[in-house]
Each structure stands twice: as C-alpha cells, then as structure tokens.
Amino acid sequence: MCSGRVDLAHVIRAFQNGMDGVYIGGCRLNECNYITHGNYDALAMVLLGKRILEHIGLNPDRLRIEFMTSADGILFADGVNEFVKTIRALGPLGRSEGLAEGETAARLSGVAKLVPWIKLAKRDKLAARLTREDDRERHFTAAEIEALFREVPAYFIDPEKCQACTICGRRCPVEAIDGGKNRIHVIDQERCIKCGTCLAVCPERFQAVRVAVGAPPPPPPTEEQRTLVRRKKAAAD
C-alpha cells in the first residue's frame, strides 16, 4: 500500500487503541512507483501529526516516518529497532508525559473528532512536496497548531432561516443533524466533525447554516419552537 494512503485518522486511532508509538515506512522520496508521489503526502501528514501530538501534551517522537526501498531490509530493521528503543525509553503513552488517567484518551478523542476539519483547514500544506529537508521542521509551527485548535468552527442552523428541506441532514456524513418535514433542523455539536458539508449544501436562497469560529454556537431552539409554521401566500385581491 502506498504510504500516502496512511491517513491522520489512522495514526490517531492507533494511539487511541493503546499503541505507544507509530512507525510509517515509505518509498524513497522522488522514487515513488506512482505519479502521485504519495510519500510526500505521508511526510506532510506526519509533520502535522507530530505537531498535534506536541500540542496535546504527547511526545512527538512517538510518531516517525522513514523512507527506503524494498532492497533496504537492513535499513528497515535498524530503523524499527531504533524506534522501538526510543518508545521503550519514553514509556507508556501519556503516563510518562505526566497526564492523568483518562486524560490521554480524552485528548486523542478530541483530536480524532476534528480530523476531517483539520485536513480541510490544512489541505494546501498537506499537499506540499517538501523536497528540502530545511523546510520540513518549520512547515507546521507550534503557534500555527495552537491557532488551529483555538479557531475550531462550530456549525449551527439559524432557526429563523431553516426551511426544513432535509438536504443538510441527508448529506451529513455522521448523521449529526436532527430534523424532518416541517421540523427545524438542529446540529448535534457532540457528533459534528466540523467537515462543513452542511454549510456547503444548504441552498443559497436559505443560508440557514451558520458558523461560529472560536466561540460556542447559540443554544438550539426548544422542542416546542422547532415546528416550522409556513406562511401562506396572501390571497389575490
């Protein structure tokens, strides 16, 4: 499998499943078997992932990528052995970083939920071909990642604008939108993955989906307020 197919979600899920370290091996840069050069995508993803680990209080050395050919068996073995030694020295995930019991899982869960939005927000940088090693360390900065998590969007539906067309609900990839015929829609903020699909598909003539950046959305309408009362057209004189 091309290393470019390794998604940030896969990395976070591995840590959620109890892995103390994640090692990714890819083809040598500029020697990809595919015209996509997915190993550059994997490199950018790992650089972003390391910054995210650092942001949530985990050692970024727990994530590593190395590039080699199928003939580099010794290089692969040496790289894996050295990585294993590094992880053993670091100790169990979260515990050696001083995080309280359950805090590691909570922080990783928060990141996992935001992966679709993170990939959208950083899609240009994730697609960059970092041919120069000097550019890699500063490709994603700590300040940039802090701002990324500080400016997380919160999508919500304006009850005054919603026409209960059900388009957003049908297109939501995680079924986070509750609604129905003549029923004003509401986005479940706990289930929402910030992908922006609802905003993209809401008919322009309605403009019911709004976004709050870096701030909580307004409270949703009560159950009694969610029944949509349609205005009847005035009778012709």
The HSE-up count of residue 35 (CA atoms within 13 Å, CB side) is: 0
- CATH of 153-226 among 2.60.120.10, 1.10.1060.10, 3.30.70.20, 3.40.1280.10: 3.30.70.20
pLDDT tens for 62-109 read: 999 999 988 889 999 999 999 999 999 999 999 999 998 899 999 999
C-alpha distances out from residue 17 to 22, 59, 92, 236, Å? 11, 17, 13, 66
| Position 237 pLDDT exceeds 50 | no
Buried b (16+ CB within 10 A) or exposed e, 175-197: ebbbbeeebbbbbeeeebbbbbb
| Position 112 pLDDT exceeds 50 | yes
Percent share of the chain, pLDDT over 90: 82
Tell me the mean pLDDT in the region 15-42: 90
3-state DSSP assignment of residue 94: coil
| Position 236 pLDDT exceeds 80 | no
Tell me the mean pLDDT in the region 48-59: 98
pLDDT tens for 178-208 read: 999 999 999 999 999 998 999 999 999 999 9
| Position 7 pLDDT exceeds 50 | yes
Residue 2, pLDDT score = 87
| Position 35 pLDDT exceeds 80 | no
Residue 234, pLDDT score = 47
Percent share of the chain, pLDDT over 70: 97
3-state DSSP assignment of residue 198: helix
Mean confidence (pLDDT) of the chain: 92
Report which of 104, 121, 114, 7 is spatially closest to residue 58, judged by C-alpha positions.
104
Could you tell me the residue ranges of all domains in the chain?
Answer: 3-150, 153-226
